[in-house]
Amino acid sequence: MAQDIENNSEQFEKIKEFVQRNKKLIIGLVVALLIILIGNDFYQSKQEQNTGEASQLFQKLLISKTTDIENLKSIADDLKDHYAKTPYAARAQIIFVKTILKNDAVDQDVKDRLHWVTQNAVEPSIKSLSVYYLGLISLSEDDLEGAKKFSELIKTKGFVGFKFDLQGDIAKKEGDIDKAKELYGKAISSFSPQSDFSRVIEYKLQNL
């Protein structure tokens, strides 16, 4: 018992001496740890604030009139420029592009936004959707090699039907009807039989 007390006393003295010798180093480490913890809390708080602000902007985009192109563009730009790391930024570009495409007004800005989404989208499905649109645009411009390249970049499982549909369109444009039929068949199998997209592809298949 006495031996244990003596050993503990010796260990305590050694620890005490170590602390005295390295006081500045220990204080520095403690301060650095506090700075890291405070910085991490601030970063997390800032991220939550940014996500909240981005969500509000995205909701504003959703309820905006589709005819108010300038307003839609302004919100999409704001999200892209200031909230790029949130999922709402990429989603906003897709919504804006879809609105533009309905009016057949494909221009360089549309392409640039879609390319931005392929590089910055947080969600794989949004990235695949942007690649699909880029493939359709390339196809409409008779850039078949570009369309093929984009079709191969569609990786998300839920978008495999879109991939086959795009590849079917490419095969049709190349005059390979048998291949187009095969790819359209695969696309139809990838979607629910009752889905609108499935019916559209059925129509394409019947009119080959």
Quick one: pLDDT at residue 30?
A: 58
Q: Tell me the per-residue pLDDT of 14-33, one tens digit each, with 9 for 90 and over.
A: 666 665 666 666 666 655 55
Q: Is residue 4 scored above 70 in pLDDT?
A: no
Arithmetic mean of pLDDT, 122-128: 91
CB atoms within 10 A of CB 203: 10
More confident residue, 99 or 62: 99
Whether 177 has a pLDDT exceeding 80, the answer reads yes
Confidence of residue 42 (pLDDT cuts 50, 70, 90): very low
Cα–Cα distance measured from residue 27 to residue 19, given in angstroms and rounded to the nearest whole number: 10
Q: Which residue in 179, 178, 168 sits closest to 203, CA to CA?
A: 168
Average per-residue pLDDT for the chain: 81
How many CB atoms neighbour CB 38 within 10 A? 10
What would the pLDDT profile of 74-85 be if each residue is shown by its tens digit? 999 999 999 988
pLDDT band for 203, please (50, 70, 90 cuts).
Answer: confident
Which residues have a Cβ under 8 Å from the Cβ of 131 and sit 6 or more positions away?
114, 118, 150, 151, 153, 154
Token pair belonging to 132: 């699909």
What CA–CA distance (Å, rounded) separates 31 from 114? 45
